[in-house]
A and B are shown apart, each in its own frame.
Chain A
């Protein structure tokens, strides 16, 4: 046995090697990432409640932690920790226990390859995008196991829908990821981020019309792959109670939420790096950005790194906010509509975009020189649209409804509700 082991070690020893300091660094990096995933989940749950409240003309949480209900999620987390942990009698105990952990691990592992700034990444992998897609596909398995292992009809339906949806949506999503990868010539997310240094038109979103369309296709697929509404067939509160996590309570249930919000940020991070310029502000020219990073001494480097991380996280949060916005705006699709959207629309669209971007890459330089105006045009049009939208949001005056039970909107007059309570 010892002979066998030593032979095996001898065979592998050139590949293995290491340094105790690496382990300490690895533990620190992993702790920072776990902390980030958990903290952003707490923030997102609060944000989701505030956003949904805003869209439904409610206030959302207001009491815990001051005016905006900042600490509501912490209070909910405490409640979940002390809640009774129930495993249904009919459930397959092993699978029931395993599901949440597999889902969370899959979602968390993706963060290992996600750069938060130039070289600010846990593992600077050659194939970072591919790795992220691969480990995020394991999250699906956790959810399917949970749906199957719960031993409940609602959960089984949720798990089945999740499996069908995932297996279909992974295809257009992977093709859409491939489009900027073709432009960049690498799967290394850090390099892809570096390539987009400079003013906003250097982002791959504006590189050509195909990458521009690919971003929206990718974002749709990513929303579906996080099983967010309008694609939340696996949960479907109004039809399946809560789908795959109907039977879960307490801490296990919160693991599903951490996984969901973690993977929302992960797919948003991929979108940010592939299309939206990664950690670059889009305002600093290339020279200024490079000078700040390399030639401005330690202060400049620290400033650049802090700015990078802040910009990257802000962009990721913005995309997560858009997902929430979409969730509370659009009604849920039926399962056949979900499958049709994927197989009849998103898949052909992404294949056409892939062909288109490949053709664009082989255009002669002379032609590309004349087509260069497209990226400036796209960038200016998008910036103008965003500015106009923000202007409209602030310039539109809110109006109270004049008809119906108009008096309940007016705080100075006693509303019918208050009057009814008094009497």
Chain B
């Protein structure tokens, strides 16, 4: 196996990420668990950076570390009764989470093995169609074709121009989904007015 520095750093980050992920699961204290999760997410972002997917890595940091984790700790600080709260997990939760974890892990492993069989020569990182290029990615979100060219199967002679995939529809679906979540949160959190009351 050809070991160069990128491979070395990949294994280093991957191992550390794995250890921190185990830390997230085994820690009882929620905030400590969030701290472990910080390192897990940062390690995942590090792997994205190592693979030249800068945009995905930075998004990972911004959304999960800067947003989600801060909100988790903020929520704990606002709602905790005692100084440091810890979670107690029942036996049923252990069983369910173990099953879900094993299924997820086997699915991931299976997809890794099969994808390396299906794509013996994955595109090089400098390929402009790669997600590294944020302009291309943004264009894809705006509906401009960025994927590989393909012709309609019915069009044997290539009379019509080739088609490229774009990500407009998934992007719109995700944004509408976020809007729904926002409206739902506002509905749940609104001040409840007593029926027939003065205010």
**Interface status of B134 (Cβ within 8 A of chain A):** yes
**Interface status of A52 (Cβ within 8 A of chain B):** no
A15/B112 contact (C-beta < 8 A), A151-B83, A187-B134 known: no
A99 to B148 alpha-carbon distance, docked (Å): 46
How many whole Å from A96's CB to the nearest CB in chain B? 11
Query: Which residues 111-141 of B have a CB within 8 angstroms of A?
Result: 112-113, 115-116, 121-125, 132-135
Q: Are B69 and A126 in contact (CB under 8 A)?
A: no
A14/B115 contact (C-beta < 8 A), A137-B61, A151-B83, A163-B70 known: no
Q: Are A92 and B62 in contact (CB under 8 A)?
A: no
Our count of residue pairs bridging A and B at CB distance below 8 angstroms stands at: 138
Q: Are B52 and A15 in contact (CB under 8 A)?
A: yes
Q: Are B31 and A145 in contact (CB under 8 A)?
A: yes
**Interface status of B73 (Cβ within 8 A of chain A):** yes
Q: Are B132 and A126 in contact (CB under 8 A)?
A: yes
- Which chain B positions have C-beta within 8 A of A390? none
Query: Which residues 40-91 of B have a CB within 8 angstroms of A?
Result: 42, 50-52, 54-55, 58-59, 61-62, 65-67, 69-71, 73-74, 76-78, 83-84
| Interface segment out of the listed B2-10, B156-164, B174-182, B190-198 | B2-10
Q: Which listed residue, A130, A137, A156, touches B77 by the CB 8 Å rule?
A: A156
Query: Which residues 1-27 of A have a CB within 8 angstroms of B?
Result: 4-20, 22-23
A167 to B121 alpha-carbon distance, docked (Å): 43
A16/B134 contact (C-beta < 8 A), A127-B58, A134-B66, A148-B73 known: no
Q: Are A15 and B74 in contact (CB under 8 A)?
A: no
Q: Which listed residue, A10, A14, A134, A138, touches B125 by the CB 8 Å rule?
A: A14
- Which chain A positions have C-beta within 8 A of B52? 15
- Which chain A positions have C-beta within 8 A of B98? none
- Which chain A positions have C-beta within 8 A of B62? 130, 133-134, 137
Q: Are A138 and B55 in contact (CB under 8 A)?
A: no
**Interface status of A240 (Cβ within 8 A of chain B):** no
- Which chain A positions have C-beta within 8 A of B115? 11
Q: Are B69 and A92 in contact (CB under 8 A)?
A: no
Q: Are B122 and A11 in contact (CB under 8 A)?
A: yes
How many whole Å from A139's CB to the nearest CB in chain B? 9
| Residue from B1, B77, B121 whose CB has the most chain A CB atoms within 10 Å | B77
Q: Are A94 and B35 in contact (CB under 8 A)?
A: yes
How many whole Å from A363's CB to the nearest CB in chain B? 21
Q: Are A145 and B35 in contact (CB under 8 A)?
A: yes
Q: Which listed residue, B31, B65, B124, B132, touches A95 by the CB 8 Å rule?
A: B31
A160 to B83 alpha-carbon distance, docked (Å): 14
Report the contact-size class of chain B (Cβ under 8 Å from the partner). Answer: 35 or more
Query: Which residues 79-122 of A have a CB within 8 angstroms of B?
Result: 90, 92, 94-95, 98, 102
Q: Which listed residue, B38, B51, B78, B121, touches A15 by the CB 8 Å rule?
A: B51
How many whole Å from A7's CB to the nearest CB in chain B? 5
| Residue from B10, B42, B66, B134 whose CB has the most chain A CB atoms within 10 Å | B66
- Which chain A positions have C-beta within 8 A of B65? 134, 137-138, 141
How many whole Å from B16's CB to the nearest CB in chain A? 14
**Interface status of A292 (Cβ within 8 A of chain B):** no
**Interface status of A166 (Cβ within 8 A of chain B):** yes
A117 to B31 alpha-carbon distance, docked (Å): 41
**Interface status of B29 (Cβ within 8 A of chain A):** yes
- Which chain A positions have C-beta within 8 A of B35? 94-95, 98, 145
How many whole Å from B26's CB to the nearest CB in chain A? 13
How many whole Å from B135's CB to the nearest CB in chain A? 8
Q: Are B10 and A12 in contact (CB under 8 A)?
A: yes
Q: Which listed residue, A16, A18, A126, A137, touches B133 by the CB 8 Å rule?
A: A126
Q: Are A138 and B77 in contact (CB under 8 A)?
A: no
A17/B4 contact (C-beta < 8 A), A126-B132, A144-B70 known: yes
Residue of A nearest to B73 (CB): A144
Q: Can you list 14 A-B pairs with a CB-CB distance of less than 8 A? A: A4-B109, A9-B1, A15-B51, A15-B125, A17-B6, A18-B4, A19-B5, A94-B32, A102-B38, A126-B135, A130-B58, A137-B70, A141-B73, A144-B74
| A-B complex: 8 closest residue pairs judged by Cβ atoms | A137-B66, A134-B62, A16-B6, A134-B61, A11-B116, A163-B74, A134-B58, A18-B6
